[in-house]
C-alpha cells in the first residue's frame, strides 16, 4: 500500500468534506464551474445513504443485518438471496417483521429480471414486492416487457427502477437508454442509475442524473479506478468517480430516493470496504452541508 493510499484512508472524511466544499472531484475531473448548483437561498436536500444487500450476498439475513448495523444506516434494498422469491406471502410478511423489528427500512428489492412477457410471470414479482413491503422494484428486462410491467406497477402502486448494466447490457447499458423508454410512460416507471456501470459506457453520470430528474428512483453507488474495467472496483472514495459532483446533481434535482452502496468486491469480507465507502460519502455530504 502506498503512502498516498494510507493518507487517503487516514484523512478520508476531512478530505471529502474539503473536496465537496470546493466543488471539485478527487481527481480534478470536474471544476467548480462544471458542477450544478442549487438555486440561491434554497434549502439543502438530504441525501439518504443505504445499502444494496447484494453487497452481503455471502451471508444469511441475520448476519447481513448485523453487518449493516455497523454502517449506521436503516435503509436497505434487499436482494432475493436475503428475501427469497419462493417464500409464501406469510413467510415474506414474517421476514418483513424481522427486518423492521431490527430497525431497518425496506426501501426496495432487486435487481429483479423480468425475463418473460406474460401476465403471470410479471405479476408474481409485484406480488412478491408487495408482500415483502418493497415500495420500489429495481429491475431489468427486454424493452418489449415494459408496457406490461408499467401496467402492474400502476395496479400495485410500486415504483419500477430500471437498472443500467454497462457495456455488457444489450438493452440498457446507459441511463439514457432507460430514459428513452420510460420518459413517456406512466409515472411509476423510472430508473436506477448504477454509477459504476454508467461511467464504463463513457456516459457523464452528472448529466445523466440531471436528465433523469424525477424519473430517478434509485442509485447504486460504487467506485472504479479505471473507467474501462469493471474489475477495477474499489471502496468509494478510492477511485475516480466524481462523487461530490454526483451528490450535488442529486441535490439539484431534489432527489427523494436512496443512494445504495453496492459493494461487489471482497465478497467474503466486505465490511471494511463498505465502512470506508460510507465514511467517504458522509464526508462529502458534511462538506456540502
pLDDT on residue 36 = 39
How many structural domains are present in the chain? 1
The answer to whether residue 75 sits within a structural domain is yes
pLDDT tens digits along 33-81: 233 333 333 334 589 999 999 999 999 999 999 999 999 999 999 999 9
The whole domain housing 96 covers 44-288
The answer to whether residue 225 sits within a structural domain is yes
The answer to whether residue 166 sits within a structural domain is yes
pLDDT tens digits along 202-233: 999 999 999 999 999 999 999 999 999 999 99
Pairing of strands 189-194, 159-163: parallel
pLDDT tens digits along 94-125: 999 999 999 999 999 999 999 999 999 999 99
The answer to whether residue 21 sits within a structural domain is no
- pLDDT level of residue 6 (50, 70, 90 thresholds): very low
Residue 282: other Cβ atoms inside 10 A: 17
The answer to whether residue 154 sits within a structural domain is yes
pLDDT on residue 256 = 95
Which of the pair, 141 or 17, is modelled with greater confidence?
141
Q: Domain of 71: which CATH number?
A: 3.20.20.150
Model pTM score: 0.85
The answer to whether residue 278 sits within a structural domain is yes
The answer to whether residue 201 sits within a structural domain is yes
The answer to whether residue 141 sits within a structural domain is yes
Amino acid at each position: 500500500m502506498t503512502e498516498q493510499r494510507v493518507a487517503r484512508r487516514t484523512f478520508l472524511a476531512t478530505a471529502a468534506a474539503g473536496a465537496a466544499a470546493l466543488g471539485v472531484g478527487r481527481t480534478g475531473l470536474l471544476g467548480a464551474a462544471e458542477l450544478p448548483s442549487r438555486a440561491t437561498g434554497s434549502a439543502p436536500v438530504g441525501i439518504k445513504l443505504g445499502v444494496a444487500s447484494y453487497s452481503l450476498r455471502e451471508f444469511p439475513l441475520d448476519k447481513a443485518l448485523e453487518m449493516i448495523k455497523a454502517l449506521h444506516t436503516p435503509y436497505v434494498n434487499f436482494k432475493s438471496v436475503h428475501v427469497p422469491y419462493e417464500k409464501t406471502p406469510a413467510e415474506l410478511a414474517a421476514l418483513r417483521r424481522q427486518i423492521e423489528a431490527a430497525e431497518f427500512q425496506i426501501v426496495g428489492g432487486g435487481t429483479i429480471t423480468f425475463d418473460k412477457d406474460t401476465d403471470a410471470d410479471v405479476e408474481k414479482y409485484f406480488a412478491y414486492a408487495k408482500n415483502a413491503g418493497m415500495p420500489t422494484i429495481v429491475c431489468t428486462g427486454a424493452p418489449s416487457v415494459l408496457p406490461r410491467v408499467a401496467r402492474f406497477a400502476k395496479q400495485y402502486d410500486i415504483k419500477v427502477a430500471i437498472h443500467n448494466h454497462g457495456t455488457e447490457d444489450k438493452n440498457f447499458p446507459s441511463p439514457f437508454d432507460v430514459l428513452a423508454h420510460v420518459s413517456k410512460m406512466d409515472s411509476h416507471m423510472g430508473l436506477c442509475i448504477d454509477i459504476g456501470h454508467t461511467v464504463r459506457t463513457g456516459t457523464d453520470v452528472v448529466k445523466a442524473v440531471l436528465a433523469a430528474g424525477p424519473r430517478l428512483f434509485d442509485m447504486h453507488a460504487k467506485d472504479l479506478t479505471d473507467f474501462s474495467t469493471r474489475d477495477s472496483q474499489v471502496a468509494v472514495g478510492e477511485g475516480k468517480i466524481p462523487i461530490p459532483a454526483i451528490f450535488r446533481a442529486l441535490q439539484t434535482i431534489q432527489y427523494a430516493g436512496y443512494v445504495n452502496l453496492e459493494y461487489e468486491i471482497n465478497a467474503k469480507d466486505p465490511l471494511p470496504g463498505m465502512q470506508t465507502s460510507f465514511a467517504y460519502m458522509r464526508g462529502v455530504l458534511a462538506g456540502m452541508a
